[in-house]
Structure 1
Amino acid sequence: MSSKTEHQSIRLFENKFLESLTHVHPLIPLLLWAPIASYLLWRSVAVHELPAAGLLLTAVAGILVWTLTEYVLHRFAFHFPAKSKFGKWLVFLFHGNHHDDPKDKTRLVMPPSGSIPIMIALYFLFSLFVPAPWIEPFCAFFMIGYLIYDYIHYATHHFPMKNPVAKYIKHYHLKHHFSGEKGRYGVSSPLWDKVFGSAGSGN
């Protein structure tokens, strides 16, 4: 008999259905968001006939805004210093459980139960600032930035990442978990930590 035991996730809900919504296979974000991003990009070219130069600038903007969104959510929502019992539970539900069990493969990418309402809310927010039809490629590249983040995050916890850049990103994120310091909220990029002075000490 093998001595290896199956990983037991931290249980967040007594209700089986609600508990199931907190777990996700790592491929699900790709299967969900890649077709939507591809469709929006297809519409940008085939339907709206947007120029290549504009799409390139939109790509840079969409991915850059994702990195800022990632930073803001991680720093100010997922590490919110809640005082009430409910507030502390909510922070634990969204992120604290990951810090208690960072190797849980079913909670390293965001489940659709969380990512879909967040993405819908952000779409309406961005549409206040990004005019049609540019909102479509902007959101497509924003989703691509999100997918890059999700799989970088998964890789930092489960793959060696020996490439110098990848190794730096892995080391940077693991220090967020294990250094005992606050900071290093950027996962896919340390850019906004550098901008806002939350990179911590050392590399």
Structure 2
Amino acid sequence: MKTKKMHNMATTNPKLLSWFASENPLSVFFKILPIVGILVYFILRNFGWGTAHFVCFLLGLFTWSLFEYVFHRWVYHVKFNNENLRWFLESFHIYHHQKMDDHHVLNAGFFLIYPLFLVFFGIVFVLTKDLPQTSSFCLGLIFYYFFYENVHYFLHYKTFKSGYFHFIQKYHLYHHYKNWKSNFGNTTSFWDRVFGTYDVRYKEFSLGTIENSHLISKK
């Protein structure tokens, strides 16, 4: 995709963007801490932690891993006709693609985290009508979400030579630099394999001078 001048929140109203984005995972941690506290309170207030709660927690983990893929592929990478919607959505991922050296949009902010949490909480509570199980499910969501935020930040932080971060860095940055239409998973390749967007050529990709210059540790 050719780089062109962008019109979105990141380029026209960076102060507003600061409410929708975070500088790093530590900032995200302090934003989600009240949510975690409330969820734990709801769980423990109602008979404590049991098997059903643990299953709901695992379902929450699983659901976020799928949501991460779905949102990345079918929201962030769709060019919507509505100009206002594009102005908002392209402030994050598309801007991130085209301005890899701007790290202000790597993690989500207050006005993304809390509305999204309320939507998930509301949907699950309507389906289960059970506050502890809903809280356990959402706790799983939050845990995997925070894992996702850490992974996304650190794979843009420095070059990794081995292990999980070496794999996911090559996988994710191949999506950025080589093929926008594949490898949408930010923490796993599982859903790309399921939905047919897995591109094995990421294994041959390596970070060159340009890619390394965009890493946080090089700033």
Say whether the fold is shared (TM-score over 0.5). Answer: yes
Residues 125-171 of structure 1, C-alpha deviations (whole Å, 9 max, x = no match): 22232331200111111111111101100011113334422211111
Q: Structure 2 vs 1, CA of residues 112 and 171 (structure 1 numbering), >3 Å: closer, same or farther?
A: same
**Deviation per CA, 1:3-37, whole angstroms, max 9, x where unpaired?**
xxxxxxx9735456424435422122111113422
For the aligned residue pairs, the C-alpha RMSD in angstroms reads 2.4
Q: 1:105 pairs with 103, 106, 110, which one?
A: 103
Is the CA contact 2:172–2:186 (under 8 Å) kept in the aligned structure 1? yes
Equivalent pair of 1:13/1:19 in contact (CA under 8 Å): no
Equivalent in 110, 113, 116 of residue 115 of structure 1 = 113
Aligned counterparts of 1:136 and 1:96: Cα–Cα separation in 2: 33
- Work out the number of aligned pairs and report it: 193
1:168–1:99 Cα change, 3 Å: same
Q: Is the partner of 2:107 in helix, strand or coil?
A: coil
Equivalence for 1:91: 89
Q: CA 1:39–1:102 in 2, change beyond 3 Å: closer, same or farther?
A: same
What is the percentage of aligned positions where both structures have the same residue? 24
Task: Pick closer, same or farther for the CA change 1:169–1:131 going to 2, 3 Å.
Answer: farther
Match of 2:157 in 1: 158
How far the C-alpha of 1:201 sits from its partner, in A, is: 3.8
Match of 1:53 in 2: 51
The verdict on how the C-alpha distance between 1:61 and 1:128 changes in structure 2, with shifts beyond 3 A counting, is: same
1:1-203 equivalences under 5 Å are 12=10, 14-15=12-13, 17-26=15-24, 27-44=26-43, 46-83=44-81, 85-132=83-130, 133-202=132-201, 203=203
Equivalent residue number for residue 209 of structure 2: none
CA distance in 1, matches of 2:161, 2:53: 33
Contact 2:20–2:111 under 8 Å retained in 1 = yes
C-alpha change, 1:35 and 1:11, in structure 2 (3 Å) is closer
Higher mean Cα deviation, 66-75 or 93-102? 93-102
Distance in 2 between residues matched to 1:15 and 1:171, nearest whole Å? 32
Helix, strand or coil at the partner of 2:156: helix
Does the 8 A contact of 2:64 with 2:144 survive in 1? Answer: yes
Distance 1:22 1:135, change over 3 A: closer
Shift in CA distance, 153/135, structure 1 to aligned 2, threshold 3 Å: same
Give 5+ residue unaligned stretches, structure 1.
1-9
Structure 2: 5+ residue stretches without partners: 1-7, 204-219
TM-score by length of 1: 0.83
Deviates more, 1:123-132 or 1:15-24: 15-24
**Equivalent-residue separation in structure 1 for 2:101 and 2:52 (angstroms):** 40
Partner of 2:91, secondary structure, is helix
